[in-house]
Structures are given as structure tokens and as C-alpha cells.
Amino acid sequence: MSIIQIIQNIKHIRAEYENGNINADDMSEALEDLCIDIKDKSDHSQIFGGEDDGYYETFEETDFTKMETF
């Protein structure tokens, strides 16, 4: 489950509650189920799906030896 999926699930649960389709108990149960689904993923790289778009690779490419101090 990616972070995007988690956010989408939370938004869906909130919308269902705001539209009166579920009550507070149902919302609480849905959020608890979502937390259990997230906790079941022991490897955090699976939770976030590795969708960093190469963000961390930019740090590996940075040449810090050429930095100047002030």
C-alpha cells in the first residue's frame, strides 16, 4: 500500500462520514482497519512503494567536496 493509497482511503472514509453514509463508529472501525493494513507491512519500503522518483539518488550524485564554507 503506497502513501497515496493511504491518503485516498482516509479521504474516502472522511467523505463517507461527511455524506452521512457511515456513522462515527463505522468511521472509527474503517480507520482502525486501515491502521491494521498499514501495520501489517513490516517493510516500510513496501508501504511507500519506492515511489521517490529518484529523489534520494540526487544526494548520491552531489559532490560535497566542492562546497564552500562561509
Higher-confidence residue of 19 and 40: namely 19
Which among 26, 6, 7 has a CA at the least distance from the CA of 16?
26
| Residue 32, all three cell numbers | 482502525
* Cα–Cα nearest to 27, from 41, 12, 40, 39: 12
Residue 3 has pLDDT above 90, yes or no: no
Per-residue model confidence as pLDDT tens digits over 39-58: 876 555 554 555 556 666 66
Residue with cell string 491502521: 35
User: Which residue shows C-alpha cell 516500510?
Assistant: 44
pLDDT above 60: residue 4: yes
pLDDT at 28: 95
% of the chain exceeding 90 in pLDDT: 41
User: Where exactly are the structural domains of the chain?
Assistant: 3-64
CA distances from 14 to 9, 21, 48 (A): 9, 10, 22
Say what the pLDDT of residue 26 is: 96
